[in-house]
Structure 1
Amino acid sequence: MTGNRAFRVAATGARVLTGAVVAGACVVGVAFGVTATWPTVVHEPAQAQVTPLPGDTVLVCNGDLRAVGRDPSNPLEMVSAATPELTVEGSSGRPESSPLLARDLADGGAALRLVGIVDGRQAPLLGATESASLAEADLSGLAAAPCRPPSIESWLVGGTVATGTEDLIVLTNPGVVPSTVSLGVYGSVRASSTVIVPAESQVALPLTSIAAGSDFPIVKVTATGAPVRAVLQSSLTRTLDPAGIDLQDAVPAAQRQPVLPGIEVFENQGDNADMAVLRLMSPEVDSDAVVRVSEVGSSTVVDEFTVPLTADLPTELSLSALSPGSYTMSIESDNPVLAGVRQQDGAGPQDDFAWVTPAPELEDDIYMAVPSGPNPRLVLVNREDADAVVQVASAPGGEPTAVTVPAGSSVSVDVKPRTVYSISTPTPVHASVTMAAAGELAVWPIWPAAGAQQSITVYP
């Protein structure tokens, strides 16, 4: 009996000891498991890189220049002052064209819609620009603008309602349905208006009809129903003498680092304060914009200053400190800004003026059209840390010329009027075309190819 009890005690002790060991092992295992890296199961989603089929390349030209008030009995009537000359070429031949009627012109007129038909999976490159030179009793000077795709949203930066000016907002709808266009005016006076642009047509309205009393008005153009092409036609009269015309292309959006190539500063016998003027605005938020100006062909900054900007309030500054010459301007801001430079070649009658707007970044192949006009030059700006080699050739099939744009600098290249060029650059650059002669001044940015399709990632 005593032996059995001793055996039972020993067995029970063994079981307790074993349980304690097992329990301790479990505790250690749990503690280790919590701190250890657990195995994971990862399922990579199926994906594929797909390049959408490109559509036809569609460009919209500006059409007839307009004159207002030539009939004293009807001072608001618009008539055609000139039909511009078009220079156009495409990589697959001359594009198809069709008229977009300007129904509000008393004597008729039209803009052109240019269509480059897609070939397989390749959208054709198109280069098209219009220009017109006038020497009339009420309008004189040179105006030029590229043909561009329509857009849903854009900005017109260089408007004015000052005495002696006549600015017209020209809206062209190449689509097959009407477009409802909202115009929002930013300036010392805020205003808005809505315009219906019928399908396949063009309308225009005076800037004074929506921006009267506003200093330095900037107009936001928003289209619904169909995208539109927006252009600002400007003219200036001093006393009774015409003093310039301009066609200003719309800016797609505000930018953090806009680049403005092709600024010309001219000598003037009197006050130089108005020979070159910078206009800036920061939409929605306050910003500080740092402005740097360099001569074309040099990386040296000749002028640098900071401009504090109040949200939604345009401001202007004179560039009178600059000596006569050719310049490029770069702007850096903590928030996207809108920018433009107004330049003029004199302060008397028979002079001309032009607005310089930001040039977008170019990379890859494009077509560029140089229309009729005096002394055309291509200005290339390279903001990268390495030199850029840009191939420039007359299109189609011309022998290319290699143009080296040093890092952080710019160059100017003479080009021929009424010629279309192909430009190829593997390094990002910015570019504008300028034309200048006595009483004739025009400048416009070069845009990336329309209709190019980027690859997208598809997750089935």
Structure 2
Amino acid sequence: MSQRSEVLRVGVRATVGLLVTGIAATAIVLLGNVPLPGVERTPLAMTVDTSQDSERTYVCAGSFAELGADPTRSGVAVPLGTAAVTIAGDPTETTELVRQEEGGSAPAVVQGPADAPLVAAQTQRLSTPTLSGLSASACTEPVNEQWLVGGSTAVGASSTLSLGNPGQVPATARVTVYDAEGPVDAGQTTGVLVPPGSERTVSLNGYAADREQLAVRVVSTGATVTATMGVSQIETLDPFAVDTVTRQLEPQSTLVIPGVTNIYDHVDNHGDQEGDYYPVQVRLLAPDASGRATVRAVDKKGESTELGSVELEAGAVAELRPERWPEGANAVIVEADVPVVGGVLGTAVRDEDRDYAWFAPGGEIPAETPTAAAVVSGGGLVLVNPGAEDAEAEIAEAGSDDEPRTVKIPAGAAVTSRAPASAEITSTAPIFVGVRMARNGIAGYPVLPAESRSGELTVYTR
């Protein structure tokens, strides 16, 4: 074959190769733009019950911690005495938190199934040269944000904040203190580290000294915590009151505060003067917006007495001190045009003994929902029906076959009733309930229904 023929043959092969490659590339492009038949499958949705085998945890405050009990460490709160814990329901486990300071009884941790009624409460009577009075509080579930309203750091008054962490990881709690002027300087608020399985108590007198009116916000990260405020007072070297303040959750436009009373056994609480010797104090805080609140007291017949109104400045604590507490009134209802947190101070004076208690708002117990109530020794129930229709509540002893007690609660009324220590309450209408002790002192706490939890989670499989 000649050289010319060989060159021609190679050129033809190259040309054909290029043509084939071009045709193949074009086909691929065309096929890529042509919709091909496919299989479509809708993801399979599965609903999972996340509440199965879950538990609830309640933390009690433990014995009262006295600020300055050790004169060499005036800013340290030392626990003393024994707090008696009452449990309503069947716990699966009861443990304790570790305190930084030794002494007294440790904070109890009560655990039980999430789908079973379970609550706890504690009480303690104190009588020492520097403490005198009756204290009671509800044991609460740990949360990320909570409020406490009450207490003072004025001369003779001491207030502490106790934070409990029943979890497995450390919690950092940011504490913000409010008074009548607004939030206390941010430089004086800080984060409190609460190790897992422990409780830490800090002095509010150190955060905000010489403040007549206090409200506290606690926001935790890392783990949820519980919070209580310990309050004590001394006057001319004589102690006359102690209390433990129960927390409340988010601000609301309506607060129902069961159990409030004002007792003075020397004929009456007025004498020859127009007002009470020791007036009830209604303390409110609107954290985010200014507004106005009206305050009224209700009794067992459903009669309502207007106590007055409060002008609210955003972020500043405000108080109302009505001249006279209505005879027979058992609760306070606050209605505001902005969300608020609040508390009410009631006093008991018998012979020469004087005591007071900060009553906290209750949580609404839905109709036809069995709700556990732990009633400490010496305590009785206060049931409030703020609705427009009469209600009936059945009060049974948990786990007992005895016939339940039926209590009628007129519309707008607050009635009292005795109850077993481990009580279960079911009402025909939404109500609010508290426990009050008013013999040989005064103390009280709200019955807090279990926090709602989402029990279902939708999972999509591929």
**TM-score normalized by the length of structure 2:** 0.81
Structure 1 segment 316-395 matched on structure 2, within 5 A: 316-346=319-349, 350-363=353-366, 364-373=369-378, 376-395=379-398
How far apart, in 1, do the equivalents of 2:44 and 2:259 lie?
48
Are 1:259 and 2:251 matched, yes or no? no
Tell me the equivalent position of 1:149. Answer: 141
State the Cα distance separating 1:143 from its structure 2 match: 0.6
- Does structure 2 retain, via aligned residues, the 8 Å contact 1:390–1:423? yes
SS of equivalent to 2:258: strand
Tell me the equivalent position of 2:434. Answer: 432
State the Cα distance separating 1:284 from its structure 2 match: 1.2
SS of equivalent to 2:142: coil
- Does structure 2 retain, via aligned residues, the 8 Å contact 1:258–1:339? yes
State the Cα distance separating 1:172 from its structure 2 match: 0.6
SS of equivalent to 2:289: coil
How far apart, in 1, do the equivalents of 2:47 and 2:65 lie?
48
Tell me the equivalent position of 1:203. Answer: 200
Residue 337 to residue 47, structure 1, CA distance change in 2 (3 Å): farther
- Does structure 1 retain, via aligned residues, the 8 Å contact 2:119–2:372? yes
- Does structure 2 retain, via aligned residues, the 8 Å contact 1:177–1:199? yes
How far apart, in 1, do the equivalents of 2:44 and 2:296 lie?
47
State the Cα distance separating 1:260 from its structure 2 match: 1.1
How far apart, in 2, do the equivalents of 1:325 and 1:454 lie?
41
Residue 108 to residue 342, structure 1, CA distance change in 2 (3 Å): closer
Q: Which moved more, 1:240-249 or 1:74-83?
A: 74-83
SS of equivalent to 2:206: helix
State the Cα distance separating 1:348 from its structure 2 match: 9.1
- Does structure 2 retain, via aligned residues, the 8 Å contact 1:110–1:202? no
Tell me the equivalent position of 1:274. Answer: 278
Residue 428 to residue 238, structure 1, CA distance change in 2 (3 Å): same
How far apart, in 1, do the equivalents of 2:351 and 2:241 lie?
10
* Ranges in structure 1 where 5+ consecutive residues have no aligned partner: 1-44
- Does structure 2 retain, via aligned residues, the 8 Å contact 1:67–1:78? yes
Q: After superposition, what is the alpha-carbon deviation per residue over 1:48-82, rounded to whole angstroms, capped at 9, x for unaligned?
A: 98754252121111112112323333333432221
Residue 389 to residue 46, structure 1, CA distance change in 2 (3 Å): farther
Return the letter of the residue paired with 1:308: E
Return the letter of the residue paired with 2:375: V
Tell me the equivalent position of 1:168. Answer: 160
- Does structure 1 retain, via aligned residues, the 8 Å contact 2:310–2:318? no
RMSD of aligned Cα (Å) = 2.4
Q: Which moved more, 1:176-185 or 1:191-200?
A: 191-200
Tell me the equivalent position of 2:55. Answer: 56
Residue 304 to residue 457, structure 1, CA distance change in 2 (3 Å): farther
Q: After superposition, what is the alpha-carbon deviation per residue over 1:147-169, rounded to whole angstroms, capped at 9, x for unaligned?
A: 11011000111131111111110
Return the letter of the residue paired with 2:260: I
Residue 72 to residue 456, structure 1, CA distance change in 2 (3 Å): closer
- Does structure 2 retain, via aligned residues, the 8 Å contact 1:85–1:130? yes
Select which of 315, 318, 326 maps to 1:315.
Answer: 318
Select which of 125, 128, 134 maps to 2:126.
Answer: 134
**TM-score normalized by the length of structure 1:** 0.81
- Does structure 2 retain, via aligned residues, the 8 Å contact 1:365–1:449? no
Tell me the equivalent position of 1:443. Answer: 444
- Does structure 1 retain, via aligned residues, the 8 Å contact 2:359–2:445? yes
Are 1:402 and 2:399 matched, yes or no? no
* Ranges in structure 2 where 5+ consecutive residues have no aligned partner: 1-42
SS of equivalent to 1:345: strand
State the Cα distance separating 1:349 from its structure 2 match: 6.2
Tell me the equivalent position of 1:302. Answer: 305
Residue 48 to residue 319, structure 1, CA distance change in 2 (3 Å): farther
SS of equivalent to 2:417: strand
- Does structure 2 retain, via aligned residues, the 8 Å contact 1:102–1:109? no
SS of equivalent to 1:264: coil
How far apart, in 2, do the equivalents of 1:251 and 1:384 lie?
22
Number of residue-to-residue matches in the alignment: 402
Residue 141 to residue 441, structure 1, CA distance change in 2 (3 Å): same
State the Cα distance separating 1:327 from its structure 2 match: 2.8
SS of equivalent to 1:337: strand
Q: Which moved more, 1:266-275 or 1:382-391?
A: 266-275
SS of equivalent to 1:155: strand
- Does structure 2 retain, via aligned residues, the 8 Å contact 1:238–1:349? no
Identity %: 30
How far apart, in 2, do the equivalents of 1:157 and 1:292 lie?
18
SS of equivalent to 1:231: strand
Structure 1 segment 4-23 matched on structure 2, within 5 A: none
Q: Which moved more, 1:325-334 or 1:220-229?
A: 325-334
State the Cα distance separating 1:424 from its structure 2 match: 1.5
SS of equivalent to 2:353: coil
Are 1:239 and 2:233 matched, yes or no? no
How far apart, in 1, do the equivalents of 2:234 and 2:77 lie?
17
- Does structure 2 retain, via aligned residues, the 8 Å contact 1:274–1:318? no
Tell me the equivalent position of 1:9. Answer: none
Residue 126 to residue 209, structure 1, CA distance change in 2 (3 Å): same
Tell me the equivalent position of 1:124. Answer: 116
Tell me the equivalent position of 1:40. Answer: none
Return the letter of the residue paired with 1:413: S
How far apart, in 1, do the equivalents of 2:361 and 2:445 lie?
9
Residue 179 to residue 94, structure 1, CA distance change in 2 (3 Å): closer
Q: After superposition, what is the alpha-carbon deviation per residue over 1:227-251, rounded to whole angstroms, capped at 9, x for unaligned?
A: 1100001111111111011010111
SS of equivalent to 1:208: helix
- Does structure 2 retain, via aligned residues, the 8 Å contact 1:78–1:106? no
SS of equivalent to 1:336: strand
SS of equivalent to 2:429: strand
